[in-house]
Structure 1
Amino acid sequence: MFLQVHIGSWDNKTESDVSWDTIAIPDPPIGNEKLIDVTTVGLVHPNARNFPVVILGTTRSIHVYDVKKISTKPLFTVILAMSLRDYESSQGRDVGPYTRGVSCNDNAILVGTHTGEIVVIMCNGETSFSNKKNLKEHRCAITDVATCRYDEITVSADSNGELIVWQKPVKGVSTRILTKQPVNVINVLRKQVIVGTLRGLVQYYSVNTGDLMCEINAHARPVNCVSVAPESAYVMTSSEDGTFIVSKLHTRKPHAYQVEYRYSDSDPSSIIMGAQFTNGRGSAIAVASFDSSTLTMYKIIKKPSAAMTASNVTSTSAAGSSSNAPL
């Protein structure tokens, strides 16, 4: 029996069709156990490689796969029972073993786990990987890990609502932030940690001071994704309420700190499980929904200028056009 991970690629500029590659991953049962589910998937690009790698985490292991040479054999594997100090004792808890949150800082690939430890996999070259000492500062299960590649800032979050800003490189703790919220997902942009909660709340915290800079009651159900576009300072949040919202983050002086609404779309009949900007400018978006075999693709266009004639104006605000790409 095989688990499957699908990798899509396309060109935003030419609006080419989406092409798909599939990694069929054998994960045979151990003893009499059933097949273990995939709990996290991430696409990261270590500086030591020419192309990204797919990180796939299950309740039993973490695998590293090459996106250019599709194979059932991973480049590297970490067995959680051998890597985590509390893996066995967690079996009796209400929540079973899992991995969640994938990020990369320079050549350090980071994967969160149910014990609160963050597994560190070093990329030493195109096909060379090694397992380094786990990060053990969290006291409960990891909910997400995120890195800003421009500032090399890495932040992790746990189920107790604590955020840890890690020193450069990812070793010691720089700042601890207590959100007092059920954190589900995070991301980092312009030295701000953007937090999406299980209550639909979106919060912005300063990396430098740990202060809460902005709080928005954005969604009616859990926030499942926070995506950022570094070139435009766009932030997108998506939720199980079927809505995604695009905002622009203003942090640079002399302008006041501001999160400015730009665009949103909603389908109450869908449950959005993930939404991502597919370019650095934030003008292209891919949305995945529960029980749907397609990705919905959006392209955000510029606001029409005042000089345009009324017959050419299609919207009074930024507009999103969508199309479906089958999985």
Structure 2
Amino acid sequence: MALRPDWLSALAAFEAAARHQNFTHAADELHLTASAVSHHVRKLEADLDVALFQRHARGVSLTAEGRQLADAASTALADVDSVLRGLRSAREEQERVRITTLHSLTYTWLLPRLPAFTAAHPQIRLTVDTEAALTRFDESGPDLGIRYGPGHWPGLTAQHLMDEALFPVASPKLPGLATLTEPAQVARLPLISDLSRQGWHDWFRAAGVHGARLDERYTFSDTTDALNAAAFGMGAALAREHIAAPYLSEGRLVQLPGPSLKARFSYYVVYPSHRRLRASARVFVDWLLALPSA
């Protein structure tokens, strides 16, 4: 006997009723009424000309034939559900973009802009990795990255995203800040550093300050930690323009006297040269490169 299309909903109702041994509980699971579940089961029994349940005052129980059909229906529906989940997972994975970037850039620059991307592309899912170590772009690795550097890395295609500039910042509550009028006076403050290749010595040289004894009192491995330390009044930090922007706009930090030093490095969107970007990753790259601040 071929499986008729109109039996599918009846089999689903029967399988739930058999699993619960209760029509009301099956109805709750399927968002039906108990009478609708009972109707489906009775139709199935009539078509098969066999009793699937024994009905008694305290509820229902499966007959031997009902148990046989319940086992088969449960296995079949579980198999179909597994395939559907696999297909859905494969589609969602195709729409996922895996990104590796710096924590500081993610926190201060990328995250405030991501709501606009997700609103425009709600079907694309994002995974953002902010490990400090350079990530390998192998088959199981990220689709793309945002890196700060010279713009050339072996095996990677690099597209320029934006340049960077360095200048000193401090909390507006830092004692004596109001009397600072020239770069040489900044050298007298407790200085906060990160692990960037360009630091205070480069900035003071560009500002024309020579021979000053610098008190580099605090060093942080993460740029946002250095800026947070400055915002808490621990001293002056040498900030990157794009990383410091939200601190400045919120008034947590202010720029100190002196020039903005063009950074040696810039930000680049990078991805493996040996493999083509998937469609969802290409959409994200194009969105990044079109940003006004890029």
Q: What TM-score comes out, normalization by structure 1 length?
A: 0.21
Which structure: greater helix fraction? Answer: 2
> Rg: which structure is higher?
2
Q: What TM-score comes out, normalization by structure 2 length?
A: 0.23
Which structure: greater strand fraction? Answer: 1
